[in-house]
Amino acid sequence: MTDVSAQTRGSGRTGRKGDRRGNPVSRFFRSLSLFVSQILDELRKVVRPTRSELVNYTIVVIVFVTFMMALVSVLDFVFTKFVLWVFGG
């Protein structure tokens, strides 16, 4: 009597679907391909602003940055005067 289970054992994984123990290079390129295709799918969903929206957004950013620069400059000037007054500069 022969042991049938010993003959049929072995790796047993080569013909299975969903096997994650394939060639590492092949897995890498499959993963890379999936990654790139997902990026392209996401880029197709992007809604680009119109010219007028872009101009409005740019103006808002420039005004906000200018305001913040002025605020930081005033606070820097005030704190400098305060520190010089406290420490007798």
The answer to the question of residue 56 being in a domain is yes
The answer to the question of residue 36 being in a domain is no
Each residue's pLDDT tens digit, 28-51: 999 999 999 999 999 999 999 999
Mean pLDDT of 45-58: 96
The answer to the question of residue 22 being in a domain is no
CA dist 85 and 89 (Å) reads: 6
pLDDT of 18 over the 60 cut? no
The answer to the question of residue 42 being in a domain is no
CA dist 48 and 70 (Å) reads: 32
Its domain, for residue 72, covers: 48-89
Structure tokens at 22: 């394939």
The answer to the question of residue 8 being in a domain is no
Residue 45 is which amino acid?
Answer: K
Q: State how many domains the chain has.
A: 1
The pLDDT score that the predictor gives to residue 13 is 53
